[in-house]
Structure 1
Amino acid sequence: MHDQKTGEPIARVHVTGDAPFSSNLDGTGQSSITIVVNDADEPWTPEQVDAMFASNARMLVRWWGEHGGAHPDDFPMVAHKIESDDYDRDKGTVTVTAIDVNDFADWRLIDGVGADKNSTLTITNRSPAAAVSATYARMMQWNPDWYLPIDLLPDEAGSFSGSWVFWKGVLISDVLKEIKDRTGVEVYLEPYATSTGGVRFTQRVGAPINTGGVHINIDADENPIAGVHYRRDGVNQVTGVEGIGQGSGEDQQRRSSGGTIIIPIRDTRKTFPDMTGDPLQEAVDTYYGAHIDPAVQWDIGSFTIGDGWTPDMCVPGRVFLLEVHGDPRIPDGVHAVRVVAVSGGNGRQLKPEVQ
């Protein structure tokens, strides 16, 4: 257990059962643990449970390493904000549920409650990464009660600009979504161990996020993956996109994107209800560019930790460089597939989701 504001460790807890967890680039990761609280030798008190698993004030961190966690040389697989605890009186257990720390962005306006209605967040000519970082800075800037252990990125010039005013009820997550829609970037808060055994978060921003490659010869006897499937899917392939923006009826803002025709015409519409002008065009172009070609989808049943294959090789943003030769369906060569999500439990086997 770690403090949510500082990321510093509070205590280790001993769990029973599988203790499932997941981590996703889209910020929907979650985890849970179950602990026994009616042990005859060391029973818990209601006050201890309340303090240890305080909703929104504690983090559940899943560590991997030789030091039992909360150590700079161990690896935090996930660090999630505790949301709830459920006591089963018959079993004498408490099940704690935690979710991605980015959930705070759904619960913070661009200023504090009761702020001047004209308070405005303005970002001018910044890179997508700098725009994201400015948004997180806004989320934490007001006083210590707003603080979270999120590192900010260096400022960087670019072409992104936007302005959001408080009276419209804009959430931090609304701003992040607009940045992602207009620029095509992904945003992920990646946990890392500090020198004191605490946890902080690095902002990963990319189109797409890529934190380095891991070469795997899938025909080798010593390789960590199993259950490989390969699929080509054209369900979302398009030749053109008509983007529909703010407004109604004939007055609705519209922008289009197209021009690459490699199949019979397959056009579609996409709605961006809050956008107009250049931001709308950026969003339409981004969507079109991502769906010109059919998607090649790999599925990997498992990644097993051990024999030089470490858990940090199978986290969101990592790229598996899969070497294949002589396969009847998969072309020869090295195929790059990116981990976008991973799940697991108490064992050495992880389940990656790749693209």
Structure 2
Amino acid sequence: MTSKQFHHTRLSVLDLAPIKEGSGAGQSFKDSVELAQHVEKWGFHRYWLAEHHNMPGIASSATSVVIGHIAGATNHIRVGSGGVMLPNHAPIVIAEQFGTLESLYPGRIDLGLGRAPGSDQATAYALRRTLNSSPEDFPLQVEELEDYFNGTARVHAFPGEGLQIPIWLLGSSGFSARLAAEKGLPFAFASHFSPDYTMAALKLYRDNFRPSEALKEPYAMVGVNIIAAETEERAKWLATSQQQQFLSLTRGQPTQLKPPVDNMEEAFTVHEQAAITERLNSEATMIGEPELVKQKLQQFIEKTQANEVIINTQVFDQKDRLRSYEYVAEMMK
């Protein structure tokens, strides 16, 4: 990869809208607005929020509402879902919600779709009132959603019908990679939490891609974790908040985002430490001072040949989060 190619790779933001220990959702949304306004100024391309439920540390459960809030507080950055878990919803509701967003903020809204329910069975039941639907129904649900936008469904979505809202398929395995290829849609792979299957999924997508009205050539985005700080020691310290979050999820006891700690080894067992270390030491997680992060990011882009990178920076202090994204913006100039 040439330096020019590296510097022309698009950068975007994945905001998990963290609710920090001792704080609440209101402050999370204020932090998200501040982050979105800064990254827009620094040249980031899009800003995505993810749907999670029954998670005390994530504020973006009503994803389309938060997307509207962010879009209303910014001027030109694209805003969207990374993603909406389509099995949780009637497709017509998503068509109407994103049709509303696109009507309010024309040319700026993305609709990223995932097929996992993103929750346990009790939460899935609370969302859907039934467990009869399956992630395997996802292709039919995507097709139904497209029919609402195209105006070819028996029922019509207003607003929504006739609007050109980019649909992305998101995945952490080969299923959505193949479906995105067959439908000629852009594909985003969740390397930030499923790094081992990244290359296989991207190959599956590119090898099977069929041009469509939406997209003539394959377009792939990869997710990464980046925590950049003035020293490697401080970056690793900041990263302990994310490590604690992974630990709580591993134990099935999700918590609010916790402040950094000086010694993570006291917090987990040997097996937990091995699992978390393996995930956070992957190529898709970059923690350190800016030059080290730049080298790792360049290597990852060169390896994946990604058109775009979407960055998750899960740190406790808002100033540290802003500074990390600023470092990344500076290294890509």
**TM-score, length-scaled by structure 2:** 0.26
Q: Indicate the structure with greater helix content.
A: 2
**TM-score, length-scaled by structure 1:** 0.25
Q: Find the structure with the greater CA-based Rg.
A: 1
